[in-house]
Amino acid sequence: MSYITKSPWVIHYDASSCNGCDIEVLAALCPGYDVERFGIINTGNPKHADIFLVTGSVNEQNIGVIKEIYEQMVEPKVVVACGVCACSAGIFHDCYNVIGGVDQAIPVDVYAPGCAVRPEAIIDAVVAGLGVLDEKAQALKAQNKAQKKGA
């Protein structure tokens, strides 16, 4: 078991959400749900974050921002699409300016549907993301070891 599963720091980005999902993401951090019980902290700095929570769909305005935040995050990292807009663009899927869900911009590991997504669903998705994060951490460790042997 990797320590990353005990201390997953999240960064939250509102792509083009109506704010419904954003409020639920922040609600998960408040006393009612208190995700800091699991070591989860909301960082605001991509270089410190392990889990990327995106709400809302991707459009031409924000696709660059989403990619930039993802690129700046340090491996191992996981992306969680929060809400149906982030999963598949939802009711906005055929809008002229909407490209689609977050997976049109960056690889998504966990999808948490809902309109708005419930805090319980976000916590479930993050816990599912921890499994992926652990796998990625192990893979990174193995890769570093192999590199050291090669050198």
Partner 1 sequence: MDGMSIVAVVIGTIAFTVAAPLLGCLLAGIDRKISARMQGRVGPPLLQPYYDVRKLLEKDRVSVNASEGLYISCALFFTLLAGGIFFSGGSVLMSVFVITLAALFFIVAAYSTRSPYAEVGANREILQVLAYEPMVLLVAVGFYMAIGSFDVAAALGAPVPAIATTGLLFIGFLFVLTIKLRKSPFDLSYSHHAHQEIVKGITTEMSGPTLAKVEVMHWCENVLFLGWVGMFFLWANPLSILAAVAVALFVYFLEIVIDNNFARVKWQAMLKWSWLVTIIAGGINIVLLTYL
Contacts to partner 1 by CB under 8 A: 2-4, 6-7, 31, 34, 36-39, 41-45, 47-48, 50, 74-76, 137, 140-141
Q: How many CB atoms lie within 10 A of CB 117?
A: 29
Given the complex with partner 1, which of 51 and 89 has the nearer CB atom?
A: 51
For residue 138, the minimal CB distance to partner 1 (Å) is: 10
Whichever of 28 and 80 has its CB closer to partner 1, that residue is 28
The token duo for 2 is 């990797």
Write down the least CB distance from residue 146 to partner 1, Å. Answer: 15
Tell me how far, at minimum, the Cβ of 97 lies from partner 1, in Å.
29
Q: Contact at 8 Å (CB) between 112 and 83?
A: yes
Q: Which is nearer to partner 1, 47 or 149 (by Cβ)?
A: 47
Rounded least distance, CB 60 to partner 1, Å: 25
Secondary-structure breakdown of the chain: helix, strand, coil percentages, each rounded to the nearest 5: 50, 15, 35
